[in-house]
Chains A and B, each alone.
Chain A
Amino acid sequence: AQSVSQHNHHVILSEAASLELGCNYSYGGTVNLFWYVQYPGQHLQLLLKYFSGDPLVKGIKGFEAEFIKSKFSFNLRKPSVQWSDTAEYFCAVNAGNNQGGKLIFGQGTELSVKP
Protein backbone atom coordinates (compact mmCIF):
# COMPACT_ATOMS: atom_id res chain seq x y z
CA ALA A 1 0.00 0.00 0.00
CA GLN A 2 1.10 3.53 -0.67
CA SER A 3 2.21 5.57 2.29
CA VAL A 4 3.74 8.95 2.96
CA SER A 5 6.01 9.73 5.86
CA GLN A 6 6.89 13.12 7.24
CA HIS A 7 9.63 12.67 9.77
CA ASN A 8 9.44 16.05 11.44
CA HIS A 9 6.31 16.41 13.54
CA HIS A 10 7.03 19.85 14.96
CA VAL A 11 9.69 22.26 13.79
CA ILE A 12 10.49 25.50 15.56
CA LEU A 13 12.55 28.15 13.77
CA SER A 14 13.42 31.78 14.17
CA GLU A 15 12.56 34.26 11.45
CA ALA A 16 15.06 34.28 8.55
CA ALA A 17 16.17 30.72 9.25
CA SER A 18 16.17 28.24 6.40
CA LEU A 19 13.57 25.51 6.28
CA GLU A 20 13.62 21.97 5.00
CA LEU A 21 10.77 19.57 5.69
CA GLY A 22 11.22 15.94 4.82
CA CYS A 23 8.76 13.80 2.90
CA ASN A 24 9.24 10.21 1.80
CA TYR A 25 6.74 8.03 0.01
CA SER A 26 6.49 4.36 -0.70
CA TYR A 27 5.38 3.45 -4.20
CA GLY A 28 7.41 1.99 -7.01
CA GLY A 29 5.54 3.43 -9.95
CA THR A 30 4.85 6.87 -11.33
CA VAL A 31 3.53 9.29 -8.73
CA ASN A 32 2.28 12.82 -8.52
CA LEU A 33 3.48 14.76 -5.50
CA PHE A 34 1.95 17.69 -3.66
CA TRP A 35 2.66 19.97 -0.74
CA TYR A 36 -0.25 21.65 1.01
CA VAL A 37 -0.25 24.21 3.81
CA GLN A 38 -2.91 24.72 6.45
CA TYR A 39 -2.79 28.01 8.33
CA PRO A 40 -4.40 28.00 11.78
CA GLY A 41 -8.16 27.60 11.50
CA GLN A 42 -8.12 27.48 7.72
CA HIS A 43 -8.47 24.90 4.96
CA LEU A 44 -5.65 23.32 3.02
CA GLN A 45 -4.04 25.34 0.26
CA LEU A 46 -1.76 24.02 -2.46
CA LEU A 47 1.85 25.19 -2.22
CA LEU A 48 3.25 23.29 -5.17
CA LYS A 49 3.05 20.04 -7.08
CA TYR A 50 5.23 17.81 -9.21
CA PHE A 51 4.20 15.30 -11.85
CA SER A 52 6.93 15.40 -14.52
CA GLY A 53 9.81 17.43 -15.89
CA ASP A 54 12.26 19.47 -13.84
CA PRO A 55 12.50 17.79 -10.44
CA LEU A 56 12.99 21.16 -8.74
CA VAL A 57 9.55 22.71 -8.42
CA LYS A 58 8.84 26.26 -7.36
CA GLY A 59 5.62 27.14 -5.62
CA ILE A 60 3.92 30.07 -4.02
CA LYS A 61 5.31 32.24 -1.21
CA GLY A 62 8.93 31.38 -1.98
CA PHE A 63 8.63 27.63 -1.36
CA GLU A 64 10.28 25.01 -3.51
CA ALA A 65 10.57 21.25 -3.44
CA GLU A 66 12.92 18.74 -5.00
CA PHE A 67 11.84 15.34 -6.24
CA ILE A 68 14.58 12.73 -5.85
CA LYS A 69 13.28 9.55 -7.40
CA SER A 70 16.11 7.33 -6.14
CA LYS A 71 15.35 8.37 -2.58
CA PHE A 72 11.56 8.40 -2.91
CA SER A 73 11.69 11.88 -1.46
CA PHE A 74 10.01 15.22 -2.08
CA ASN A 75 11.41 17.63 0.49
CA LEU A 76 10.04 21.14 0.92
CA ARG A 77 12.43 24.08 1.30
CA LYS A 78 12.37 27.78 1.89
CA PRO A 79 15.58 29.82 2.24
CA SER A 80 14.22 32.32 4.78
CA VAL A 81 11.04 31.77 6.79
CA GLN A 82 8.73 34.44 8.11
CA TRP A 83 6.44 34.51 11.12
CA SER A 84 3.51 34.23 8.69
CA ASP A 85 4.75 30.80 7.59
CA THR A 86 3.59 29.38 10.91
CA ALA A 87 1.24 26.60 9.81
CA GLU A 88 0.93 22.88 9.34
CA TYR A 89 2.44 21.42 6.18
CA PHE A 90 1.27 18.25 4.49
CA CYS A 91 2.95 16.19 1.85
CA ALA A 92 0.65 14.10 -0.34
CA VAL A 93 0.96 11.66 -3.22
CA ASN A 94 -1.31 9.99 -5.70
CA ALA A 95 -0.57 7.25 -8.18
CA GLY A 96 -2.74 7.90 -11.16
CA ASN A 97 -6.49 7.63 -11.05
CA ASN A 98 -6.58 4.67 -8.68
CA GLN A 99 -9.50 5.33 -6.34
CA GLY A 100 -10.34 8.48 -8.16
CA GLY A 101 -6.86 9.90 -7.83
CA LYS A 102 -7.16 10.02 -4.07
CA LEU A 103 -4.40 11.78 -2.21
CA ILE A 104 -2.43 9.88 0.40
CA PHE A 105 -1.29 12.36 3.03
CA GLY A 106 1.58 12.34 5.45
CA GLN A 107 0.96 13.00 9.11
CA GLY A 108 1.79 16.66 8.76
CA THR A 109 4.56 18.86 10.14
CA GLU A 110 3.70 21.75 12.38
CA LEU A 111 5.98 24.72 11.79
CA SER A 112 6.27 27.43 14.41
CA VAL A 113 8.27 30.52 13.46
CA LYS A 114 9.37 32.78 16.29
CA PRO A 115 9.46 36.51 15.52
Chain B
Amino acid sequence: DAGITQSPRHKVTETGTPVTLRCHQTENHRYMYWYRQDPGHGLRLIHYSYGVKDTDKGEVSDGYSVSRSKTEDFLLTLESATSSQTSVYFCAIRTGLQSTDTQYFGPGTRLTVL
Protein backbone atom coordinates (compact mmCIF):
# COMPACT_ATOMS: atom_id res chain seq x y z
CA ASP B 1 0.00 0.00 0.00
CA ALA B 2 3.09 2.26 -0.26
CA GLY B 3 2.56 3.55 3.26
CA ILE B 4 -0.39 5.81 2.48
CA THR B 5 -3.10 6.52 5.00
CA GLN B 6 -6.11 8.76 4.70
CA SER B 7 -8.24 10.26 7.43
CA PRO B 8 -11.06 10.24 8.06
CA ARG B 9 -12.16 7.17 6.13
CA HIS B 10 -15.81 8.18 6.24
CA LYS B 11 -17.41 11.54 6.87
CA VAL B 12 -20.91 12.93 6.71
CA THR B 13 -21.25 16.69 6.77
CA GLU B 14 -23.74 19.39 5.97
CA THR B 15 -23.80 21.80 3.07
CA GLY B 16 -21.79 24.94 3.75
CA THR B 17 -19.43 23.50 6.31
CA PRO B 18 -15.66 23.34 5.76
CA VAL B 19 -14.08 19.91 5.56
CA THR B 20 -10.43 18.87 5.59
CA LEU B 21 -9.17 15.50 4.45
CA ARG B 22 -5.69 14.32 5.31
CA CYS B 23 -3.29 12.16 3.35
CA HIS B 24 -0.20 10.88 5.09
CA GLN B 25 2.72 9.01 3.55
CA THR B 26 5.68 7.42 5.27
CA GLU B 27 8.18 7.20 2.40
CA ASN B 28 9.02 10.84 1.57
CA HIS B 29 7.79 10.77 -2.01
CA ARG B 30 7.84 14.14 -3.67
CA TYR B 31 4.68 13.89 -5.78
CA MET B 32 1.29 13.58 -4.15
CA TYR B 33 -2.17 13.80 -5.70
CA TRP B 34 -5.82 14.15 -4.76
CA TYR B 35 -8.41 12.50 -7.03
CA ARG B 36 -12.13 12.11 -6.71
CA GLN B 37 -14.00 9.05 -7.92
CA ASP B 38 -17.55 9.30 -9.22
CA PRO B 39 -19.63 6.69 -11.05
CA GLY B 40 -19.22 6.97 -14.80
CA HIS B 41 -16.24 9.32 -14.52
CA GLY B 42 -13.43 7.13 -13.25
CA LEU B 43 -11.01 9.21 -11.19
CA ARG B 44 -10.36 12.88 -11.83
CA LEU B 45 -7.47 14.96 -10.54
CA ILE B 46 -8.33 17.74 -8.09
CA HIS B 47 -4.89 19.04 -7.09
CA TYR B 48 -1.37 17.76 -6.94
CA SER B 49 1.86 18.63 -5.18
CA TYR B 50 5.44 18.35 -6.38
CA GLY B 51 7.08 19.30 -3.12
CA VAL B 52 6.60 21.11 0.17
CA LYS B 53 4.52 24.23 -0.48
CA ASP B 54 4.49 23.44 -4.22
CA THR B 55 1.01 22.66 -5.45
CA ASP B 56 -1.02 23.09 -8.60
CA LYS B 57 -4.55 22.62 -9.87
CA GLY B 58 -5.99 19.63 -11.62
CA GLU B 59 -9.02 19.39 -13.84
CA VAL B 60 -11.73 19.64 -11.14
CA SER B 61 -10.20 22.05 -8.64
CA ASP B 62 -13.10 24.49 -8.17
CA GLY B 63 -14.24 24.54 -4.54
CA TYR B 64 -11.10 22.81 -3.27
CA SER B 65 -7.82 23.99 -1.84
CA VAL B 66 -4.74 22.07 -0.72
CA SER B 67 -1.74 22.56 1.48
CA ARG B 68 1.52 20.75 1.97
CA SER B 69 3.62 22.08 4.80
CA LYS B 70 5.49 18.80 5.36
CA THR B 71 6.64 16.17 2.89
CA GLU B 72 4.51 13.50 4.49
CA ASP B 73 1.18 15.31 4.67
CA PHE B 74 -1.08 16.60 1.89
CA LEU B 75 -4.33 18.20 3.02
CA LEU B 76 -7.43 18.71 0.90
CA THR B 77 -9.93 21.32 2.07
CA LEU B 78 -13.45 21.88 0.90
CA GLU B 79 -13.99 25.52 1.81
CA SER B 80 -17.79 25.25 1.89
CA ALA B 81 -19.02 21.77 1.12
CA THR B 82 -21.74 21.26 -1.47
CA SER B 83 -23.76 18.19 -2.36
CA SER B 84 -21.87 17.92 -5.66
CA GLN B 85 -18.75 17.19 -3.64
CA THR B 86 -20.22 13.98 -2.31
CA SER B 87 -17.68 11.50 -3.61
CA VAL B 88 -14.90 9.11 -2.74
CA TYR B 89 -11.57 10.89 -2.44
CA PHE B 90 -8.31 9.11 -3.12
CA CYS B 91 -4.86 10.31 -2.35
CA ALA B 92 -1.96 9.00 -4.40
CA ILE B 93 1.80 9.20 -4.36
CA ARG B 94 4.22 8.71 -7.20
CA THR B 95 7.29 6.68 -6.46
CA GLY B 96 9.70 8.78 -8.50
CA LEU B 97 10.21 11.92 -10.54
CA GLN B 98 9.43 10.36 -13.93
CA SER B 99 5.99 10.20 -15.50
CA THR B 100 6.59 6.48 -16.03
CA ASP B 101 6.81 5.90 -12.29
CA THR B 102 3.81 4.29 -10.71
CA GLN B 103 1.15 6.12 -8.76
CA TYR B 104 -0.03 4.24 -5.68
CA PHE B 105 -3.35 5.01 -4.10
CA GLY B 106 -4.52 5.30 -0.54
CA PRO B 107 -7.60 3.56 0.88
CA GLY B 108 -9.95 6.46 0.13
CA THR B 109 -12.28 8.72 2.08
CA ARG B 110 -16.00 8.48 1.49
CA LEU B 111 -17.52 11.93 1.93
CA THR B 112 -21.25 12.58 2.03
CA VAL B 113 -22.52 16.15 1.96
CA LEU B 114 -26.16 16.45 3.02
Contact = CB atoms under 8 A, between A and B. Distances in A.
Interface string A16-51: 000000000000000010101000001111100101
A102 B102 contact: no
Interface string A51-80: 100000000000000000000000000000
B102 A49 contact: yes
Contact of A94 (B42, B49, B99, B107): B99
Given A49-B102, A100-B31, A100-B50, A90 B42 contact: yes
A51 B104 CA distance: 17
A96 B41 contact: no
Contacts of B41: 107
A13 interface: no
Given A43-B90, A100-B31, A107 B42 contact: yes
Nearest to B108: A43
Given A43-B105, A90-B43, A108-B42, A102 B100 contact: no
A103 B104 CA distance: 11
A103 B90 contact: no
A106 B42 contact: yes
B52 interface: no
Interface size class of B (residues with CB under 8 A): 20 to 34
Contacts of A32: 99-100
Contacts of A105: 42-44
Contacts of A92: 42-43
24 contacts: A4-B42, A43-B105, A43-B106, A43-B107, A46-B104, A49-B100, A49-B102, A92-B42, A92-B43, A96-B99, A99-B48, A100-B33, A100-B49, A100-B50, A100-B56, A101-B98, A101-B99, A101-B101, A102-B33, A103-B35, A105-B43, A105-B44, A106-B42, A107-B41
Interface of A: 4, 32, 34, 36, 42-46, 49, 51, 90, 92, 94-97, 99-103, 105-108
